Amino acid sequence: MGSVRNKQSRSVTRRDFLNTTGAIAGAVGLAPALSAPFVSKALAETRDDGHLYMQTNETGNAIIHYHRSANGAIFEVERVATGGPGSGLLSPIYHVPRPNHFEGAGSVILTPDHRFLFTTNGGDNSVSSFAVSGEGRLALLDVKPTGNAQSGGAKSLAYAPSSGTLFIVHTFGPDHLRLVSVDGKGKLTARPEQYSVGTTEWPNRTPTMTVLSPDEKFLIVGTTFDELPTKKNPDGTLILWIPHGPDGKLHVIASNAPDPDGIVVFPVGGNGALGERSFHDAGAPSPFYIAFLHNRPDTLIIGHAVGDGLSMGRIDADGKIRVDPLVPIDTSAGRPSELCWMAISPDDRWAFTTNFGYSYLSSYRIDGAELAIAKDPACPKVPGDGTFRAINGTVSSGPSDSWITPDGAYLYQIYGNASKLVGYAIQPDGSLNEITNVTIPYNGSQGLAGF
């Protein structure tokens, strides 16, 4: 599609935003605990405190750029079209309207130097690149198809600065992983390489997200299903057990249950090309989210959507992963919890889990080689509009991607079915206090990245 620059972005300047006191309170969405004088004082500050970005994932996809004030409050600055369609209201996995449509994580990312922002477009499996100005504003540079032909599934990104390579994960294979090269001006070039996370026994596996090891030597992919869910019980709940194999015995479709192959590791070459994959035991079902600690490049935390907890793992110089025992959350509300997203504090002291089925977050304390529950739940449940039920049957607002500020003071969380992006102040005991919220597009909003 070549180079494109958006001419229809909607923007709000700080001066425009400060014109009326009433507009301030509404757009910032501060929680009732914050008084109007406090809001006015915070917004009167002139320094540029930070930026947060989220894709709407609507049919006409756009990136929403939020300004983030020193007190954690956010307000919308602009919406910039991506040049490609989002997946819209229909889930490509479940074929029904629901939050978190493409069951993935990390669909919006920034380069480490904050020069470029990348996003997926799940509606046509394309990727968009943006230039990021010193004030955080976006300008669309390029849009390119990823090469995967099954629409609705481009959902997770990782970027290797040394080779200028974007890795894109898709729901549907066999080409689950496609590569795109990025030049020094943010222009994109689709590459022919394609890679699968399927096995001979389970060719239709569903990956969720990918992360690059800090040394850029390995690309790690999380998975959730060995086979896409296609059948439901009479009450509408998903059937997670299916006949499989020559004997027709029931087998749970959650990955790594019991086959010890839920994590897929690819060695990364100097030009970004991937080597022969290897499969590793995640230690529990559905290793949905994988994140490296910031200060220990060989240590990673794994969030298990069906295992209902976190585990700590380590990767050696050969790419082999060893995982410690699972530390579960409270599942008395029903199983699975669909613990699908996670954020780790910059000092590696805390891990916050997003429990899709429960409509709230839980927190873990990280102490050396030990994981322990800190607050479960870490915040009150955020109700949705009552139209969505999780796999466990509970009514949920479908929280998905989250992001922690570089100073570790605030966490932002998407609640798709509640049409809210909520900001929390992180407390010394691992609990979360809501301080701000803004209205976001219903059900579909995806991805959070900031600086």
pLDDT per residue, tens digit, the chain (451 aa), is 443 334 344 444 443 433 333 333 334 343 333 322 233 333 334 345 899 999 999 999 999 999 999 999 999 999 999 999 999 877 888 778 889 888 899 999 999 999 999 999 999 999 999 999 999 999 999 999 999 988 768 999 999 999 999 999 999 999 999 999 999 999 999 999 999 999 999 999 999 999 999 999 999 999 999 998 877 767 666 777 778 878 888 888 899 998 999 999 999 999 999 999 999 999 999 999 999 999 999 999 999 999 999 999 999 999 999 999 999 999 999 999 999 999 999 999 999 999 999 999 999 999 999 999 999 999 999 999 999 999 888 999 999 999 999 999 999 999 999 999 999 999 999 999 999 999 999 999 999 999 9
- H or E stretch including 184? none
The set of long-range contacts for 423-428, using a CB threshold of 8 Å and a minimum separation of 24, is 423/72, 423/73, 423/74, 424/379, 425/72, 426/345, 426/350
- Number of neighbouring beta carbons within 10 Å of residue 297: 12
Distance of CA 170 to the CA centre of its chain: 13
The answer to whether the peptide bond before residue 336 is cis (omega within 30 degrees of 0) is: yes
H or E segment at 228?
none
**Sign, CA torsion 309/314/320/322:** negative
Cα→Cα distances 63→78, 281, 364, 394, Å: 8, 36, 31, 31
* Inter-residue contact 36 to 18 (CB < 8 Å): no
The CA distance from 112 to 89, in Å, is 32
The dihedral of CA 317, 319, 325, 330: what is its sign?
Answer: positive
Element (H, E) at 22: helix 21-28
Strand (E) or helix (H) holding 202: none
pLDDT of residue 47: 44
What pTM does this model have? 0.88
Q: Indicate if the alpha-carbon torsion angle 139, 142, 146, 152 is positive or negative.
A: positive
d(CA 263, CA 286): 9
Report the pLDDT value the prediction gives residue 237, as an integer from 0 to 100.
Answer: 67
Query: Nearest to residue 142, comparing CAs of 162, 166, 163, 161?
Result: 166
Cβ neighbours around 9 below 10 Å, total: 18
Q: What pLDDT is attached to residue 245?
A: 77
- For residues 301 and 314, is the Cβ–Cβ distance under 8 A? no
How far is it, in rounded angstroms, from Cα 405 to Cα 128?
24
Contacts of 37 (CB under 8 A, 6+ apart): none
Name the residue type at position 127: V
pLDDT reported for residue 152: 67
Q: Cα 31 vs. chain centroid, distance in angstroms? A: 25
Residues 6+ apart with CB under 8 A from 41: none
Closest CA to 340 of 99, 121, 66: 99
CA dist 350 and 381 (Å) reads 20
pLDDT value of position 82: 98
Closest Cα partner for 61 from 88, 39, 42? 88
Nearest to 148 by CA among 209, 185, 196: 196
And the tokens for 409? Answer: 């003071």
Q: What is the pLDDT of residue 236?
A: 65
DSSP state of 386: S
Strands 399-404 and 309-315: unpaired
Helix axes 36-43, 21-28, angle to 10 degrees: 90
Whether the CB-CB separation of 242 and 228 falls below 8 Å is answered with no
Residue owning tokens 């405190």: 49
Exposure string for 82-109, b = 16+ CB within 10 A, e = fewer: bbbbbbbbebbbbeebbbbbbbbbbbbb
Q: What is the pLDDT of residue 284?
A: 97
Q: For residue 190, give Cα distances in angstroms to 103, 123, 143, 183.
A: 24, 17, 10, 12
What pLDDT, on the 0 to 100 scale, is given for residue 100? 85
